[in-house]
Amino acid sequence: QSALTQPPSASGSPGQSVTISCTGTSSDVGGYNYVSWFQQHPGKAPKLMIYAVTKRPSGVPDRFSGSKSGNTASLTVSGLQAEDEADYYCSSYAGNRVVFGGGTKLTVL
């Protein structure tokens, strides 16, 4: 079971926007509209930031947005803030399983 492919790192300056990609196949990302994005700070449990490709749970700032095109999903963080520095993981429903991406470390310069 292959993990979804994410870039290992991404960075941006405060106030800028950064986009993180998540590439899968037609059996996961491309086949269903159930891509989620999680933020994880060191030593903490993951936090759901985006679900069902584009939806934000209550309490998540609208600076975070999600999209999908074909087999690739994307998370965009606009107006970068220092507290956005964290690891980000995508996941996708894949029928009889769930698959995660390898994670992207976002650095706020």
70 closest CA partner among 17, 28, 18: 28
Q: Is 64 in the site for other proteins (CB under 8 A)?
A: no
Span interacting with other proteins, options 10-18, 19-27, 31-39, 77-85, rule CB under 8 A: 31-39
Per-residue binding string, other proteins, 76-105, x by CB under 8 A, is -----------x-x-xxx--xxxxxxxx--
Question: Could you give the residue ranges of the DSSP H alpha helices within 25-79?
Answer: none
Q: Is 49 exposed, middle or buried (0-12, 13-18, 19+ CB in 10 A)?
A: buried
Instruction: Return the structure tokens found at 11.
Output: 């960075």
Looking at residue 109, its amino acid is L
Q: Smallest gap, in angstroms, from Cβ of residue 17 to other proteins? A: 24
3-state class (DSSP) for residue 72: strand
Residue nearer to other proteins on the CB measure, 18 or 35: 35
Q: Is 46 in the site for other proteins (CB under 8 A)?
A: yes
* Contacting positions for other proteins (CB under 8 A): 1, 3, 32, 34, 36, 38, 40, 45-48, 51-52, 57, 87, 89, 91-93, 96-103
